[in-house]
Every structure is written in structure tokens, then in C-alpha cells.
Structure 1
Amino acid sequence: MPFRPHRWLRAALIIAAALLLGFLSTRLSFRQDWTAGARASLGPQTTALLRTLDAPVEVVSYASEVGALRGAIGDFIARYRVAKPDISLAFVDPTVDPAAMRERGVQVDGELEVRYKGRSERLKVLNERELSNALLRLSRSRERMVAFLSGNGERKPDGAANADLGQFARVLLDQGIRAVPLVLGPNARIPDNTDLVVIANPRVPLADAVVAELVDWVERGGALLWLSEPGEAVGLDPLATALSVRVLDGTLVDGSGARLGLGDPSFVAVTAYPAHPVTQGLNLTTLFPQSVALAQLTGARWDIKPLLRSSAQSWTETGVISRTAESTIRYDADGQEMRGPLDLAFALSRLSPRPDRREQRTAVIGDGDFLSNSFLGNGGNRELGVRIFNWLLADDDLIEVPDRAAPDRELVLSQAGLGLLGGGFLVVLPSLLAATGGLLWWRRRRR
């Protein structure tokens, strides 16, 4: 066999080119998304946001090692690393120390904690919209000021007692929302730099001057959150009238809680929510101990939307609720009790009288225990509280990620169509293959 150097040279060049391509592939990268709607890539809004982040982002995922959840989370975060390489991802197995996870408020396998510049936010849903909006909120430099009315036995935003809101205030602080006490004297005025005023269950009647200032705050366009309780006679009727809301008599009880293992009928569990931006996508159960029902007044000057609603098995119990095992309560149709479904939270909005003419927002919730230190960790209480505060603070500069789902991902066939499809694969196609094979064999035999 003659020696042909050009063949050897060509082979060497091919091998060298292959090695060079392999080396370059480790140094250079090229990414092209050919999926329908580019659903395997980040949207332009998210990419623009990542360019503005001037510090590293830490993502901690509380996902167990069993299953493919960690892999899915890693693949998702890898999309963000393409635009921002200094995003780190760490995994913590929640099954190793369940008690520690409960203390941290971890409730969902795969829950994410996003950290940026000393602040953090938790995510229970993994998608581009949720993660990008969390990064957007964490990137805001201005700290929001929330004033909690104090001096009348209210729940303390910095308190450690079971009824106080210290744990929730720390959650708010992680998101750049600072809770401060607000004591109003006879001639005191709510500071104009206050972003939100919270009335958290006063125990003693408020002075007329304080109630008048709260009403004036609302009339000036201020945001307000009012947490009410059964039998709370503290002189806030003028505020209720200004908000076009009435607090119903009695304690809201709900018999549907028995299927969730709640032995106390005064504990209302909410599993389904009316349509509203606050509750959109919220699929966690929330728990409200000792709550009160609300009603709208006619001729309201607000756009009032329900946030929370009890089941059809609920009513406003005006009698004494005993918690002994043998005690029973029942709906009194002849009295003044009202049967459910009943609203226990309202979201109110209207055009603000302030010069900016932005939307003014307030909320009235017939319970304050759900945010207390005792009950904050139950179900979705923490998540709901954060959502309510974000909405009240008009945190609407959110990233809207359009639906980029692939078209025609589902094939809907009738029973007849399924029969034809099955017959084609099981009978017609094998018969054609057999006939083709027989024809080829017959033609070869004739040669």
C-alpha cells in the first residue's frame, strides 16, 4: 500500500480542528433558545433588572435530596446566572433538622430564600415572575415606614409576647419595611413621611382626638390597616363610617374547620380566596383565631373588595363560646346572628386626594391574631401578611412576565378519535410494515 502523506495530513488537520473546537467550547459559549415563545430563557424585563443589581445575590433552597426537585431548581437559577454570574445557590435539606426549619418558618419543600444586600425574602412558588419581583423589592433602597398605633394596649410591633407582632415585624424589616410605634397625643399629628398606619387591636377606648386624627389621615389620602377583634368597643365607629365598613356583632365561627382537625369553632380556616391581587396565586391555608365578620355600608365612597371569606357553614355567634369538650353552639336563626359565607377582610381603594393622584389603599381585617407571634407560622399566615403590606404600600412596580407557554401542548381527542389512533398504531401500521416486507421478499425471489 503506497504511502500517501496528504491523507495523513488531512486526518491530522481534522483531529486538530476537533481538539480546537473542544477547547474553544470550554472558553466560549453560545446560547440560542428555539422554544416557542422563548420560554426557556428570561424575559427582557428580568434581564434589564439583573443588570441593575450591583451586588451578589444569594439563593438558599430548602429542598430535600430525594427526588428531582434540586435539579429543577438548579436549572431554573442557571437561567439567571447567564445574565448575572454572581448569583449563588445553596441547598439545605429540611429533613435533617425539622425543628430548626419550623423556627425559620420553612413550610414547603423547595422553598427559596433570596438574599441581597443584607435583606431577604421567601418564595414558595418557583417561576420567573415571583423571583424577579422578589429581586426588584430587595433592590429598592428607600426603607418604608409603617407606624403602629401605640399607647392603648395594642399589639406591639417589637414585642415578644404571644399576642405581639415582633416576629412579623422582623419579616417586614427583611423586606425594607420598618415598623415603628406611633403614640398620638391630644394635638399630635401623623407624620407625613409615614407610608402606612396600622391599628392593631387597641384594648382601651381611644381618645376622641386620636380617632379624629385617624379619620383625617384617611381623608388626607393616607394608607391604613385596621385589625379588629370581636367585642372591640374602642370608639372607632367614626373610622368605620369613613371607610364605609361595619363590624358585625359576635364572633365568627365556622363548622368547616372540623375536617381540618380544628376542634375550636372560633378558629376560621380559609382555603379559597376571592379574586384580588393580594391573594392571586395563594394556595396555602390561612388560620384566623377569634375573628369578626365585616359588612359593607351602602353608598360607599370606596371600591371595596373582599379578601377573606368564611364557608357556608359559618355564622356570627353572639353567645358565649365555651371550649369544653361537651359544649355545643348552634346557629340562632331567630336572633341577630348572620349565616355565612361572611367576609372577614376587605381591601379598599379609591383615587387619592393627594397631589400625586395615586390610588389610595386601606384594608380592614377582622382578626389580628393571625399575624401574632403565636399564629404567624400557621399555614400561609406569614405569606398573606406580607402580601397585604406590599399591596397597601402600593408596591406595584412589579415585573409582568407574559405567558410564553408553547402553543398546542395539549391534544384533545374524542373517543372515536382515540379509537382510530389506537387502531392505526396497533393494526394498520403493523399491517403496512408486514405487507412492505412481504413485497420486498417476493420481488427478491423473482430475481
Structure 2
Amino acid sequence: MKINTGSTQSLKWHNRIFILLLLIIVGLLAFLSTRYVYISDWTINGQNSLNPVSLKLLKTLHDTVEITSYTNKKAVKKSIQELITRYQRVKSDISLSFIDPNLNPEKTRELQLSIDGEMIISYQGRKEHLRELSEQMLTNSLYRLMRVKQRQIIFIEGHGERSPDKQANFDLSDFSRHLKKQGILIGTLNLAKTLHIPENTSVLVIAGPQANFLPAEVNLLLEYVKKGGNLLWLGDPLKIDKEDPMQGLLALSEHLGIEFLEGIIVDPSTLDYDIQNPDYAIVTDYPPHAINNDFSTLTLFPQATGIERLPAYLEETEKTEDKNSAEQVFTMTALLTTVERSWVETSALKKSVQFDEKEDIAGPITLAMLLTREFNGESLSSEGTSTIKKQQRIIVIGDGDFLSNTFLGNGGNLTLGLNIFNWLSYDEQFLEIPRQLRNDIILDISTSKLSLLGAFFLFVLPAILIISGSFIWLKRRHR
């Protein structure tokens, strides 16, 4: 092809038009990038995206959220901005502002700020301080601000129960700490001293008593239940050698229409999970219920017992239809059930146990019973007494170890426990926010493989480049 003056001018114009079109396209793309944002998270478990529970929470926040952080450090600002941006992608009316605490010392002292970067979150006139930067803590703060009514959980004490404050293996201090993170108030109550259950009790907890209740204490519990109070009863295997295996709570169990089975649940399926204890029970399947929504994780129950409905109580279910009556019967639902090949061992446990058709109780065994009834009760307010309709909620579980400091971290025990308390306190809309674990963050390479990689990049790869370059140079030279 011969190149003349005309073709040269044509090529110049083609180049100019190409450059002009390229600049126009780049400009359009830059303009569109300011109007539209597309973000894709390709990490294996969504490390750069919000958890589905956080997304669900943001959809229920109908007003603006204002977040103010007090810091002057660029690194802290960047970390906060990166986290808040994830929330702003979902809810655009979340505002974030930074204030230099050194320029506003009086405001800093007034707000009692304790750490650099501390955030104050405001929603519907309510405020909360956030001192730990994480999705877990921020979502929980928004969750607490969304709730208007404060929940209060009361644990009965004075009979050797599991304590929400103490650190022993069988106590519940770790679980109590997770409840407090959700804004739940935790308290204890000795009925023998107070002879009164507070009116603002959201859930009353009986956590494995070891000593007998006094008759007056039992009457207080019965009165609380008859008035529509919500209850969580964590039982343990009955001690048959004691004079009163029920610790004086037989009247309460009869009123609820349930009984604890004598013996300990034995579950051979635990061997499939390399658990050598025969007295551990596992639950893998959960019935449809608000407590079990999107929950399918295995839960572990050490030294548990079963629960059954009282036959006499079943006969009473058709007698009382009046929903205003304190004696209206409960609707019962099995919440947790063991596998079919499990059983209740009624004799002393040995290293090797076998099912005895004559003595033992065949599975599946109900491990937790859920009781509800529609109840027209009285509500006290500043305007006086009014009648309200609500659903009374009670859960009886044949084990308390699953929430103890020792076993709380097994499987889904923590999440199940939080779900139970949220449901009992009429707050089942949102449940536990699980932490995302990073996968494959450690690259484990042996010394020999590292040596091979080093040799490849230091010697082999440069040699290949030199040889290929020399070959191309020689080929072009001989044209």
C-alpha cells in the first residue's frame, strides 16, 4: 500500500476522531460513575457486605439515623467511614459527621467521651454511645434505639440456681453478657426476701434450683403465671434419691400441665459427631416457629431430661374456653425433640449403655416444651388500670447446661438461647447477629515449596524472559 499526502491526512483525521471519541466515552463513563454506583462483593462469605440480619433491621428503620464521631485521626475516620458506607448503601438517610474533640473540649466533657473515635448514634430522639467499631455492635445499637420498651429479665435466686453474674462453669454469666449487649436489663430476685415479683418483669427465669422452694415462694410463682407472666424454666434431671426431686415446684409443673421424666437422655447419634459422652443429647431438626426461623445449626444438651404433658391436664383442655379465666389451659408445642434412636435412661449410667424396653423410655424425647395461651390481663399505667389482650409465653426445657459458661459456645447454643429470650419477651422480630468468620486467611506453605517458588521467580522466570527476548531480537535482526 502506497502512502501519499491524502492518505496521510486521512490517517491523521482518523486518529484525531478516535482520540476525541475516546475522550467523550471516558468523560461519559466518569459522569455516569458519579450518578450510579455498582458494588460487587466477591469475598467467599461476604466480608465486605452487611449480614442479612443487619439488612433486615435497616428496612424497619423508617426515620433518619445521625452518627457523629469524635476524632481527628485520619486512620480512625477511614475505618469508621468504611463501615458506615455499608449501611448507607442500604439506607441512604444515614448521616455521618466527624468532630475534632480538641476543638470542642467543653462538648467532649459534657458527652463524657472516653475513647478516640467514639460515636453517638441518634434515632427518633434517642441516643446511644458506641465505643467498639464493628457491624455486630453498630447493628445492636440501632436495634436498641429502635425498641421503645425496655426488657427486663429476672433470674430467681436463693436455691442454688445458675447465676447470671457468677463465673462458675455451670453459671450463666457469659450468656447474660450477650443479653446485655442487646439492651436487656438483667436482675436477680430472692422471693424469700422480697415476697414480690416486679410488675415490669418481661421474663422470669428459674434456672436449675438445687434446694427446695418455700410454699410462700411457690404461691408467688403460681400467682405470677396465673396473671399471665412469661416464664423460662430450665430444669435438670430429677434427683430421685432426694425427698422432693422437684424442689417444691410440683404444684407449678402441675399447673402448667407438664412433668419432668425420671432419668437422663442418652443419644447414640452423638458418636457420629465424635462426642464420647453417652449422656449428651443433640438436636438437629427444628419445627417451624419464630424461635427457629432461619436456624438449623446443631445444638448440644449435656445431661438433659425429657418433658411430657400430664395426662390429667390433657383432659382439662376442653373444659375451659373463657379466655378471661386465669385457669384457661395452655396450648403446648414441642420446641426441641431428640432423634428417634435416643431414649431416657432410668438406671445409673455406665460407660456402655443399652436401651432396655422394660425400664427405659424410647425416643424421640421432647427436650423443650412451649406453652402459650391468649390472655386478657390487666395493665397498670399512669392513667390507671386497663385490660389488654396478649399471648402468655412459657418455655420449659429439660436442661440448663446448654446455656452455661462451659457449653454456651457449642454449635448453635448461644443463638438458640437468644432466640428463646427474644421470643419470650415479644421481641422475636430480630434475633442473634452472627459474626462472619474469615475463611482461608492463612497461607500455609512448606519450606521446600517456598524454596521452589523463590528459585522460579529469581532464576527460572528471568531466564525465560531473557531467552525469549533474545530469540525475538535475533529473528527481527535477520529480516
For 1:313, give the aligned amino acid: R
SS at match of 2:89: helix
Task: Give, in whole Å, the separation in 2 of the partners of 1:360 and 1:378.
Answer: 30
Please name the residue that 2:235 is paired with.
228
For 1:384, give the aligned amino acid: L
The alpha carbon displacement at 1:22 in A equals: 3.8
SS at match of 1:344: strand
Please name the residue that 1:340 is paired with.
363
The alpha carbon displacement at 1:311 in A equals: 1.6
Mapping for residues 280-299 of structure 1, pairs under 5 Å: 280-297=293-310, 298=314, 299=316
C-alpha contact (below 8 Å) 1:51/1:84 kept by paired residues:
no
The alpha carbon displacement at 1:263 in A equals: 1.6
Task: Give, in whole Å, the separation in 2 of the partners of 1:225 and 1:12.
Answer: 74
Please name the residue that 1:49 is paired with.
61
For 1:389, give the aligned amino acid: F
The alpha carbon displacement at 1:291 in A equals: 0.6
Change (3 A) 1:138 1:377: farther
For 1:316, give the aligned amino acid: V
The alpha carbon displacement at 1:340 in A equals: 0.6
Q: Does 1:353 align with 2:376?
A: yes
The match for 2:91 among 83, 103, 106 is: 83
Residues 272-328 of structure 1, C-alpha deviations (whole Å, 9 max, x = no match): 222322123222111111111001131351121111111222222121113xxxx33
C-alpha contact (below 8 Å) 1:186/1:210 kept by paired residues:
no
SS at match of 2:192: coil
SS at match of 1:49: coil
Please name the residue that 1:242 is paired with.
255
The match for 2:175 among 168, 177, 202 is: 168
For 1:83, give the aligned amino acid: K
Structure 1: 5+ residue stretches without partners:
32-40, 58-73, 89-114, 124-130, 400-447
Residues 5-27 of structure 1, C-alpha deviations (whole Å, 9 max, x = no match): x9999889756654543442343
Q: Does 1:308 align with 2:336?
A: yes
The match for 2:397 among 335, 344, 365 is: 365
For 1:242, give the aligned amino acid: H
Mapping for residues 150-189 of structure 1, pairs under 5 Å: 150-185=157-192, 188-189=195-196
Which deviates the most, 299-308 or 215-224? 299-308
Change (3 A) 1:236 1:167: same
C-alpha contact (below 8 Å) 1:276/1:305 kept by paired residues:
no
Task: Give, in whole Å, the separation in 2 of the partners of 1:384 and 1:317.
Answer: 26
The alpha carbon displacement at 1:140 in A equals: 2.5
The alpha carbon displacement at 1:84 in A equals: 4.0
For 1:339, give the aligned amino acid: A
Please name the residue that 1:381 is paired with.
413
Residues 191-240 of structure 1, C-alpha deviations (whole Å, 9 max, x = no match): 00111100001110001111111111111111100000111421111111
Give the TM-score taking structure 2 as reference length: 0.61
Q: Does 1:321 align with 2:349?
A: yes
Change (3 A) 1:352 1:396: farther
Change (3 A) 1:206 1:158: same
Q: Does 1:24 align with 2:31?
A: yes
For 1:341, give the aligned amino acid: P
Change (3 A) 1:19 1:309: closer
The alpha carbon displacement at 1:396 in A equals: 4.0
Give the TM-score taking structure 1 as reference length: 0.65
Which deviates the most, 178-187 or 348-357? 178-187
The alpha carbon displacement at 1:120 in A equals: 9.8
The match for 1:276 among 268, 273, 289 is: 289
Computed over aligned residues only, the root mean square deviation of the Cα atoms, in angstroms, reads: 3.9
Change (3 A) 1:295 1:28: same
C-alpha contact (below 8 Å) 1:252/1:314 kept by paired residues:
yes
Task: Give, in whole Å, the separation in 2 of the partners of 1:87 and 1:225.
Answer: 40
The alpha carbon displacement at 1:50 in A equals: 6.6
Q: Does 1:139 align with 2:146?
A: yes
Residues 24-48 of structure 1, C-alpha deviations (whole Å, 9 max, x = no match): 23433378xxxxxxxxx99999445
C-alpha contact (below 8 Å) 1:120/1:175 kept by paired residues:
no
Change (3 A) 1:121 1:191: farther
C-alpha contact (below 8 Å) 1:120/1:138 kept by paired residues:
no
Task: Give, in whole Å, the separation in 2 of the partners of 1:341 and 1:239.
Answer: 25
SS at match of 1:358: strand
The match for 2:279 among 253, 256, 266 is: 266
Please name the residue that 1:214 is paired with.
221
C-alpha contact (below 8 Å) 1:309/1:341 kept by paired residues:
yes
Aligned residues: 336
The alpha carbon displacement at 1:186 in A equals: 6.5
The alpha carbon displacement at 1:133 in A equals: 9.8
C-alpha contact (below 8 Å) 1:274/1:309 kept by paired residues:
no
Please name the residue that 2:355 is paired with.
331
Please name the residue that 1:111 is paired with.
none
The alpha carbon displacement at 1:80 in A equals: 5.4
